[in-house]
Structure 1
Amino acid sequence: MTDKQTEPSAEAGTPAQAAPGTTGEPVRSPFDSPTEQFAATSSELPITQPTERVAAPAAATATQVTEKLPRTDEELGLDPEVPLYSQVKNAIPGAANSTTAEPSPTYSFASIPPAPTAPTDGKGRPLRRDERRGTLDLGLLVLRLVIGGTFVYHGLQKAAGWFHGPGFEGLKTSMEHGGWKHVDIAAPLLIAGELGGGILVALGLATPLAAGAVLAVILDAWMWKQGMTSGFQYSAKANGVELESILAGGAVAILLTGPGRLSLDRGRGWSTRPFLGSFAALVAAVAAAILTYIYLHGGNPLSGVGPF
Structure 2
Amino acid sequence: MTDKPNEPSAVAGDLPPAAPRPAGEPVRSPFDSPTEQFATPSGVQTTEKLPRTDEELGLDPEVPLYSQVMNVIPGAADSTTTEPSSTYTFASIPPAPPSPADSNGRVRRRDDRRGTLDLGLLLLRLIIGGTFVYHGLQKATGWFHGPGYDGIRTAMENGGWKHVDLAAPLLIAGELGGGIMVALGVATPLAAGALLAVILDAWMWKQSMVPGFQYSAKGNSVELESVLVGLTTVLILTGPGRLSFDRNRGWATRPFWGSFAACAAAIAAAILAYTYLHGGNPLTGITFD
Q: What range describes the TM-score normalised by the shorter chain of this pair?
A: 0.5 to 0.7
Q: Within the alignment, does 1:89 sit opposite 2:91 as a pair?
A: no
Q: Within the alignment, does 1:240 sit opposite 2:221 as a pair?
A: yes
Letter in 1 for 2:251: W
Local SS of the residue matching 1:277: helix
Q: Match for residue 16 of structure 1?
A: none
| Superposition map of 1:1-308 within 5 A | 86-87=80-81, 89-90=83-84, 95=88, 128-129=110-111, 131-306=112-287
Query: Shift of residue 88 of structure 1?
Result: 5.5
The structure with the largest helix share of the pair is 1
Deviations 1:37-73 (A, max 9, x none): xxxxxxxxxxxxxxxxxxxxxxxxxxxxxxxxxxxxx
Query: Shift of residue 306 of structure 1?
Result: 3.2
Letter in 1 for 2:242: R
Query: Shift of residue 132 of structure 1?
Result: 2.9
Q: Distance in 2 between matches of 1:167 and 1:286?
A: 27
Letter in 1 for 2:110: R
Query: Shift of residue 231 of structure 1?
Result: 0.9
Local SS of the residue matching 2:186: coil
Whether the aligned pair in 2 keeps the contact of 1:89 and 1:95 (CA below 8 Å) is no
Change (3 A) 1:173 1:96: closer
Query: Shift of residue 233 of structure 1?
Result: 0.5
Letter in 1 for 2:88: A
Change (3 A) 1:86 1:271: same
Q: Distance in 2 between matches of 1:163 and 1:137?
A: 31
Gaps of 5+ in 2: 1-77, 94-108
Q: Match for residue 117 of structure 1?
A: none
Q: Distance in 2 between matches of 1:191 and 1:303?
A: 27
Query: Shift of residue 94 of structure 1?
Result: 5.1
Q: Distance in 2 between matches of 1:238 and 1:290?
A: 25
What is the number of equivalent residue pairs in this alignment? 196
Deviations 1:208-242 (A, max 9, x none): 10000000000000000011111110111211000
Whether the aligned pair in 2 keeps the contact of 1:258 and 1:273 (CA below 8 Å) is yes
* % identity of equivalent residues: 71
Letter in 2 for 1:95: Y
Gaps of 5+ in 1: 1-83, 102-126
Letter in 2 for 1:263: S
- Give the superposed CA RMSD: 2.2
Bigger shift: residues 228-237 or 297-306 = 297-306
Q: Distance in 1 between matches of 2:144 and 2:240?
A: 28
Local SS of the residue matching 1:227: helix
Q: Distance in 2 between matches of 1:294 and 1:306?
A: 22
Query: Shift of residue 95 of structure 1?
Result: 3.0
Letter in 1 for 2:146: G
Letter in 1 for 2:220: N
Return the TM-score normalized by structure 1: 0.60
Letter in 1 for 2:207: Q
Q: Match for residue 77 of structure 1?
A: none
Q: Distance in 2 between matches of 1:178 and 1:96?
A: 78
Letter in 2 for 1:292: A
Q: Distance in 2 between matches of 1:96 and 1:185?
A: 71
Whether the aligned pair in 2 keeps the contact of 1:157 and 1:163 (CA below 8 Å) is yes
